[in-house]
Structure 1
Amino acid sequence: MNPLRRLSRVGLAFLLVVLAGTLGYAVLGFGLLDALYQTVTTITTVGFREVHPLTPMGQVFTMVLILVGAGTVFYMFGVMLEALIEGHLRHHLERRRMNRQIGRMRGHIIVCGWGRVGRATAQYLRSLGNTVVVIDRDPERLRDIDFPNILGDVTDDNVLDAAGIEHAQSLIAALDSDADNVYVTLSSRALRADLVIIARARTEGSKSKLLRAGANRAVNPQLIGGRRMAAFALQPNVAEFLDVVMHEDTLEYRIEEIVIGADSRLVGRSLTDTALRRTTGALLLALRTSDGQFFANPTDETALHSGSILIVLGTPAQLDAVRTQAVG
């Protein structure tokens, strides 16, 4: 049994012995405080004299209390020492502190599965300044991890709750099997209808199942990796530019998507009217309408509507300028 569980049980046994001893001495005629004092000095074997003279019945009761109580105390000290030596108390306190930290998180991203895909995803998200919580059922995988984490079966709703799914921005299902990813997607979608869910698909056939289960996107890392390798072979400069812009932390330019809000000053106006390109200096690569249609390199006459998504290339300052106009 876990030493912490043993410690809690033996602590309960110690309290019961103290209670029984106090009640026993009270029955023998001791006052409540005297009865408690006599019980504690007896089971801890400190050797003080009796508070009141004992009758033969009291002597028999005291001998039984010594045998039971002293054994309980010594066993409790042994379990405490074992827990301290093996680090269980330290681990338990660290886990409680981490759980409180996760409970205070808002807008974080949950990564399910600490394999190669989950590890690469979490590290990239953190490099962009995002807060990440990792879930995995293998304690060895989480032994030296430097992310807030939950040890448990991710298909359990209680584990998802512990990871703060109620306040999460999105969830990434990167487990080893498609069946587990489908199950996690179903559970997560049931808990949060508005959660953004990105699921890993090991085969092309499983992508449709994951989408039907509620995933916003189903991604096949092997397929994407193969296509990127082919792109580097055929168009190395284009592929490297996109790779650097999307993933290089030190590059000044970034590509981001910015949603036009309902109260934005851009709503109902064309790109010419807004002078978005001229006032911000950002390059508008594409526009996606609220019904999912893409328009690459939109013309100046293109009208902007609430819920449309701008795909913009620019420096952080330029992107902030676009975001300011898009929000309100």
Structure 2
Amino acid sequence: MFLGYTFLDALYQTCMTMTTVGYGEVHPPTTGMKIFSTSLMIMGVGIALYNLTVMVGAITDGEVQRYFERRRMDRRIAAMSGHVIVCGYGRVGRSARDHLKAMGAQVVVVDNVPERVVHLAEPHLVGDCTRDDVLIAAGIERARALVATLESDADTVYLTLSARAIAPDLVIISRARTVESKEKLTLAGATRAVNPQLIGGRRIAAFALQAHVAEFLDVVMHDEELDFRVQQVRVLPSSPLAGQRLGDLELERRSGARLLAYRPAARRPFEPNPEQDTLLAPGSVLIAFGSLTQIDALAELAAPQ
């Protein structure tokens, strides 16, 4: 009992007061009941106004819109396969993303600074790239490759270790800020550890001493308007080319693409201008030069049956 009311009467009176239905009093109001009802009405209206203010603020601040955009982005990423994840969207990450997009690759960008990625039209995530749940949300288990360009080499090493543990066969390209970090990143599982300063220095030297060669390689690798390309074609174990003698396959005649080099396996030396009696090992790679049509024809010949 409270102020002479049973629990059911008190609940009924409270609901009438809060909803402003106002059918009438259950019992004649006492002084205590008047004080309680007045307090209840003031608090009820205050709570309702506060909740309304929060809802309006959320809508005007874009929280609801951002929520639905995030859900839509998550669905887009969940539907992707064979994409490239770019972790870290600084200057190097932005440049890598631009070149990947120009080459026709699907890209998911991940960065822990919202201002860097919220304006992007393509799929992106805001989060810590070194966390497994963030990598999984970015679709690492379905990805073709991961590019690690974080702020510090320590974070990049940790990211490389995490990514390799989740996806043992993933291609991982890690940026090394110092030459000394390259070996650590390789030991951590990076497919390739890249130092932009070292590469930039080599390119500058190449343009200084062999300008035409450097420009030719730059054009065939990056000029989208040129019809010719240097591309790699992988010979998978299920490919009809695996185990076959290169001369017997007549790949140049059948595709029109010229074979520049052959690599028997990852981390093995390239064999420039391979001999005709070369046996194509499963998992090997062909480096070919030709038009887009010729490269596609070679890739079709190497495709698993």
State TM-score, norm by structure 1.
0.83
> Whole-Å Cα distance in 1 between the matches of residues 63 and 10 of structure 2?
43
Q: Which residue of 2 aligns with 1:294?
A: 270
Change (3 A) 1:144 1:264: closer
Q: CA deviation at 1:156?
A: 2.0
Alignment-derived partner of residue 150 in structure 2: 175
Answering whether residue 97 of structure 2 is matched by residue 125 of structure 1, we say no
1:79 aligns to 2:54 (yes or no):
yes
The answer to which of 147-156 and 310-319 deviates more is 147-156
- Residues 242-273 of structure 1: per-residue CA shift (max 9 Å, x gap): 00111111110111111112233323332221
Letter in 2 for 1:27: L
User: Could you tell me which residue of structure 1 aligns to residue 287 of structure 2?
Assistant: 311
* 1:49 paired residue number: 22
Displacement over 3 Å in runs of 4+ = 56-65
**What does 1:61-100 align with in structure 2 at a 5 Å threshold?**
62-100=37-75
Which whole-Å CA distance do the structure 1 matches of 2:99 and 2:34 have between them? Answer: 71
Q: Structure 2: how far apart are the matches of 1:212 and 1:25?
A: 74
State the number of aligned residues.
296
Q: How far apart are residue 122 of structure 1 and its match?
A: 0.5
2:171 matches 1:196: yes
Q: RMSD of the TM alignment (CA)?
A: 2.3
Q: Deviations over 1:21-47 (max 9, x none)?
A: xxx9971188xxxx59x83x6435xx4
Deviation at 1:240, TM superposition (A): 0.6
Could you list the runs of 5+ residues in structure 2 that have no partner in the other structure? none
Q: Report the 3-state secondary structure (helix = DSSP H, G, I; strand = E; otherwise coil) of the residue aligned with 2:262.
A: strand
Cα 1:285–1:82, aligned 2, differ >3 Å: closer, same or farther?
same
* Counterpart-to-counterpart distance in 2, 1:203 and 1:60: 74
Q: CA deviation at 1:199?
A: 0.3
CA contact (8 A) 1:43 1:73 kept: no
| Paired residues of 1:284 and 1:311 also in contact (CA < 8 A) | yes
Answering whether residue 198 of structure 2 is matched by residue 226 of structure 1, we say no
Any stretches of 5+ residues in structure 1 without a counterpart? 1-23
Per the alignment, residue 17 of structure 1 pairs with none
Cα separation, 2, equivalents of 1:219 and 1:284: 26
Superposition pairs of residues 107-122 of structure 1, within 5 angstroms: 107-122=82-97
Relative distance call for 1:70 and 1:287 in structure 2 (3 A) is same
| Structure 2 match to 1:134 | 109
1:65: how far off?
Answer: 3.9
SS at match of 1:141: helix
Deviates more, 1:53-62 or 1:275-284: 53-62
Distance 2:155 2:180 in 1: 15
Partner Cα separation in structure 1 for residue 35 and residue 231 of structure 2: 81
Question: What is the TM-score of this pair, normalised by structure 2?
Answer: 0.89
Distance 2:124 2:154 in 1: 22
Q: Deviations over 1:53-104 (max 9, x none)?
A: 4224887765454233222111011111112222222222212221222122
Aligned letter for 2:297? A
CA–CA distance in 1 between the matches of 2:256 and 2:70?
48
Cα distance, 1:107 vs structure 2 = 1.6
The aligned counterpart of 2:224 is 249
Deviation, 1:129, is: 1.5
Q: Specify the SS of the correspondent of 1:89.
A: helix
Match of 1:258 among 233, 257, 262: 233
SS at match of 1:287: strand
